[in-house]
Each structure stands twice: as C-alpha cells, then as structure tokens.
C-alpha cells in the first residue's frame, strides 16, 4: 500500500504503509540512507533530490547534492520538523 508518491525529474519516491520508502529512477537511489528511512511522514522533491520528514521530526535527504540531496551541513538544526517545502533546486 502506497501512501504518497513524490516525483522529481524522472525519479520517484513512495512512502509505503509501513513508513518505509521505495525510490527509483535517476537521482532516486536512496540506498545510502535506506536504513534511516523509517516512520516517514512526508517526502518533498526538488528537480533531482528528495527530503523526507520522519515521525521523530528529523529529516533525511538524498539525491543530487547541489539540489538539496545533502543536508548534512544543517542536520543538527533539523529537529522537530513538521513539513518541508521544495523549490526547483532547494528545500
């Protein structure tokens, strides 16, 4: 059961009923962060990156780093996040 599908430029990410994520297509590969994608509440997409909010208020990003796929520089500030908005190249 799919709860949400989010599209980027030719890539897709879906939240499944158990809160996990399946992603596919260019820039959709989430294998590097797959173990963190649990209890996902929302997914947002830029042109070539994705960001997911988790039930604990944290955020997981993947995809093209120049379009927001690497949020490690601000990871310590991403707490109690309730919603993410995306532009074409940033979250």
> pLDDT tens digits, residue range 27-86?
899 999 999 999 999 999 999 999 999 999 999 999 999 999 999 999 999 999 999 999
For residue 53, the model assigns a pLDDT of: 98
pTM of the model: 0.95
For 8-17, give one letter per residue: b (16+ CB within 10 A) or e.
Answer: beebbbbbee
For residue 9, the model assigns a pLDDT of: 94
Q: What is the pLDDT of residues 33-48, one digit of tens each?
A: 999 999 999 999 999 9
Q: Which residue has the tokens 């995809």?
A: 63
Answer for the pair 23, 12: CB distance below 8 angstroms, yes or no. Answer: yes
Instruction: Please name the helix (run of DSSP H) or strand (run of DSSP E) that holds residue 49, with its range, or none.
Output: strand 49-54
């Amino acid at each position: 059961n799919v709860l949400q599908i989010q599209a980027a430029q030719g890539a897709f990410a879906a939240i499944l009923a158990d809160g996990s994520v399946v992603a596919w297509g260019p820039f959709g590969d989430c294998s590097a962060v797959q173990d963190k994608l649990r209890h996902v509440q929302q997914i947002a997409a830029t042109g070539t990156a994705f960001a997911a909010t988790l039930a604990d208020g944290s955020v997981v990003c993947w995809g093209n780093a120049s379009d927001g796929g690497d949020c490690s520089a601000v990871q310590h500030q991403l707490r109690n996040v309730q919603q993410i908005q995306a532009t074409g190249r940033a979250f």
